């Protein structure tokens, strides 16, 4: 059996490991265009701030790869020729497959304003982008950051930590409107201001200006201009569906796959950021841009390519991230509405977060420690934990396991309730029960 996997991200690596757990003899080929191979993309934020050396971003060693026993082909796939069961590379080579997996990820949505192609207009998709940003930063110079969600803040933080003066321009009234609530957005914004970031709401950039092909400013809808040396943006991502589309596979926002990660061609699978995965529990097909689901999908796809029938059951989306220096955990369904700063999904994001079933909100906390719970009829549907993280693990378990919270529901919804203490008490009760 010849397995061919396109992409060298976490979904692809997990797929190879899964194939090898079943099939030790089949030929496995991985095609990847990224010259840096497989590394932690979420870790790029810490590389930008200087907290992590780039060497720390590589989760696998040469020895690991040797053990996985696959052939690596460096290059870009140009097209999938389904009739001939092979792919065509950009350099003219053809590589055959019996089973194919598409794990090509997603790319930053391009900025559609005049001047977006000038030198110094930057995004953060991969290692090369991070290096480009680091080459462009100069202490004391000025940057403008546009967009929302996690990556925009990572850009702000990276540039501030490198000594740049940063204008963070938001089109909307507050940061990450459709995931965070008003108070959470304000906590983040306050933190940014304390770090010296110049925050401007309701600011729409209509042009990036330049001199000698290099950025030197932005022009806003209001007529205001800002001088700057660099523009960084994160306005959303687009799953790389072009290969699948050209090959006639079913595509919506991502490549449509069933719960076995199989496309409408039974020998072709897709996983990770590029896949829009059918969730048999909700009956819908959903996009995530999260590291752990990409790994889990890749593993399930690998097993299925090698002949198993393993359904990928979407777990409750969960992300621990850092927003303006505040550790923030987002679990389950927490937000609603529209965010003018992002189009569709962003990095480290899940469409599920924005579903808002019937739930009431219980919240507590000020300054950087804050807890918000989405309280359903008998279960918790979502939570945001900011600052103190003692409760994020219990909450992840309570939400993922759909634990019955009826005994504490009313207390949680009592105005002024100390919901953190109630959850901690409930969790120790659950533990005590288990130990009996
Ligand atoms: C800056 C940043 C911050 C993030 N923060 C978080 C976070 O806080 N939490 C979280 O859970 N997730 C986060 N993510 C998202 C997470 O990294 C992704 O969900 C995950 O990497 C997806 O893995 P993947 O294997 O699907 O795709 P990718 O990791 O994108 O890998 C796809 C690979 O395919 C290659 N490729 C594309 N087209 C071709 C082609 N035609 N031929 C050959 N190769 C091709 C690409 O070069 C790439 O190497 C972040 C991502 C970034 C970039």
- The CA 106 to ligand 1 mean position distance, Å, reads 6
Pocket test for ligand 1, best of 238, 257, 273 (most atoms within 8 A of CB): 273
CB of 288 sitting under 6 A from ligand 1: no
Q: Answer for the pair 192, 168: CB distance below 8 angstroms, yes or no.
A: yes
CB of 125 sitting under 6 A from ligand 1: yes
- The CA 413 to ligand 1 mean position distance, Å, reads 39
- The CA 273 to ligand 1 mean position distance, Å, reads 7
Q: What is the pLDDT of residues 382-419, one digit of tens each?
A: 999 999 999 999 999 999 999 999 999 999 999 888 99
Share of the chain above pLDDT 70, in %: 97
Q: What is the pLDDT of residues 258-287, one digit of tens each?
A: 999 999 999 999 999 999 999 888 888 989
Q: How confident is the model at residue 367 (pLDDT cuts 50, 70, 90)?
A: low
- The CA 38 to ligand 1 mean position distance, Å, reads 9
Round the CA-based radius of gyration of the chain to a whole number and report it: 23
Q: Answer for the pair 78, 89: CB distance below 8 angstroms, yes or no.
A: yes
Distance (Å, whole) CA 185 – CA 193: 12
Nearest atom of ligand 1 to the alpha carbon of 125: 53
Res 120: pLDDT = 97
CB of 254 sitting under 6 A from ligand 1: no
Res 347: pLDDT = 78
CB of 123 sitting under 6 A from ligand 1: no
Of 341, 234, 330, 257, nearest in space to 290 by CA: 330
Which residues, in sequence order, are bridge partners of residue 107? Answer: 238
CB of 44 sitting under 6 A from ligand 1: yes
- The CA 342 to ligand 1 mean position distance, Å, reads 18
- The CA 312 to ligand 1 mean position distance, Å, reads 19
Measured CA to CA in angstroms, residue 119 lies from 54, 164, 215, 282 at distances of 24, 17, 6, 45
Task: State the chain's mean pLDDT as an integer.
Answer: 93
- The CA 41 to ligand 1 mean position distance, Å, reads 6
CB of 4 sitting under 6 A from ligand 1: no
- The CA 422 to ligand 1 mean position distance, Å, reads 38
Q: What is the pLDDT of residues 11-35, one digit of tens each?
A: 999 999 999 999 999 999 999 999 9
DSSP string, 99-158: EEEE---EEEPPP-STTTTSBTEE--SSHHHHHHHHHH--TT-EEEEEE-HHHHHHHHHH
CB of 319 sitting under 6 A from ligand 1: yes
Nearest atom of ligand 1 to the alpha carbon of 292: 11
Pocket test for ligand 1, best of 8, 9, 106 (most atoms within 8 A of CB): 9
Share of the chain above pLDDT 90, in %: 83
User: Angle at CA 214, nearest 5°, toward 220 and 134?
Assistant: 100
pLDDT at 334 over 90: no
- The CA 261 to ligand 1 mean position distance, Å, reads 17
CB of 9 sitting under 6 A from ligand 1: yes
CB of 332 sitting under 6 A from ligand 1: no
Distance (Å, whole) CA 382 – CA 71: 42
CB of 33 sitting under 6 A from ligand 1: yes
Nearest atom of ligand 1 to the alpha carbon of 271: 26
Q: How confident is the model at residue 433 (pLDDT cuts 50, 70, 90)?
A: confident
Q: How confident is the model at residue 53 (pLDDT cuts 50, 70, 90)?
A: very high
pLDDT at 233 over 90: yes
Residue bearing the CA closest to ligand 1, atom 16: 291
Residue bearing the CA closest to ligand 1, atom 3: 42
Nearest atom of ligand 1 to the alpha carbon of 321: 8
Distance (Å, whole) CA 150 – CA 170: 14
- The CA 289 to ligand 1 mean position distance, Å, reads 8
CB of 88 sitting under 6 A from ligand 1: no
Q: What is the pLDDT of residues 146-204, one digit of tens each?
A: 999 999 999 999 999 999 999 999 999 999 988 999 999 999 999 999 999 999 999 99
Q: What is the pLDDT of residues 69-93, one digit of tens each?
A: 999 999 999 999 999 999 999 999 9
Res 178: pLDDT = 86
Q: What is the pLDDT of residues 369-390, one digit of tens each?
A: 899 999 999 999 999 999 999 9
pLDDT at 359 over 70: no
């Amino acid at each position: 059996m010849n397995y061919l996997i396109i992409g060298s991200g976490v979904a692809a690596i997990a797929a190879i490991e899964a194939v090898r757990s079943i099939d030790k003899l089949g030929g496995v080929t991985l095609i990847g265009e990224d010259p840096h191979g497989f590394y932690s993309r979420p870790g790029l934020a810490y590389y930008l701030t200087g907290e992590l050396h780039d060497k720390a971003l590589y989760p696998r060693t040469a020895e690991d790869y040797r053990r996985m026993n696959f052939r690596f082909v460096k290059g870009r796939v140009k097209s999938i020729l389904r009739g001939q069961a092979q792919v065509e590379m950009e350099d003219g080579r053809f590589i055959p497959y019996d089973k194919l997996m598409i794990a090509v990820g997603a790319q930053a949505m391009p900025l559609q304003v005049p001047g977006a192609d000038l030198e110094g207009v930057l995004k953060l998709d991969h290692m090369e982008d991070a290096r480009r940003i680091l080459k462009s930063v100069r202490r004391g110079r000025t940057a403008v950051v546009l967009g929302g969600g996690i990556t925009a803040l990572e850009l702000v933080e990276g540039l501030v930590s490198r000594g740049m003066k940063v204008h963070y321009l938001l089109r909307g009234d507050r940061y990450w409107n459709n995931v965070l609530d008003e108070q959470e957005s304000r906590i983040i914004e306050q933190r940014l201001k304390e770090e010296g970031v110049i925050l401007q709401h309701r600011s729409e950039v209509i042009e990036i200006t330049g001199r000698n092909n290099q950025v030197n400013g932005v022009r806003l809808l209001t007529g205001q201009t800002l001088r700057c040396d660099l523009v960084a943006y994160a306005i959303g991502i687009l799953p790389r569906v072009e290969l699948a589309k050209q090959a006639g596979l079913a595509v919506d926002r991502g490549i449509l796959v069933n719960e076995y990660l199989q496309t409408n061609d039974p020998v072709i699978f897709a996983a990770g950021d590029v896949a829009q995965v059918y969730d048999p529990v909700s009956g819908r097909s959903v996009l995530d841009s999260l590291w752990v689901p990409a790994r889990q999908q890749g593993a399930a796809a690998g097993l299925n390519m090698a002949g198993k029938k393993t359904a990928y059951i979407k777990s409750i989306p969960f992300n621990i991230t850092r927003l303006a220096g505040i550790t923030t955990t987002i679990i389950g369904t927490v937000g609603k509405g529209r965010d003018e700063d992002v189009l569709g999904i962003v990095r480290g994001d899940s469409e599920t977060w924005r579903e808002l079933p019937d739930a009431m909100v219980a919240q507590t906390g000020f300054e950087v420690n804050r807890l918000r719970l989405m309280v359903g009829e008998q279960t918790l549907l979502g939570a945001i934990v900011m600052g103190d993280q003692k409760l994020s693990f219990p909450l992840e378990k309570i939400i993922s396991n759909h634990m019955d919270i009826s005994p504490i529901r009313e207390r949680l919804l009592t105005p002024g309730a100390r919901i953190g203490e109630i959850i901690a008490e409930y969790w120790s009760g659950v533990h005590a029960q288990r130990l009996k």
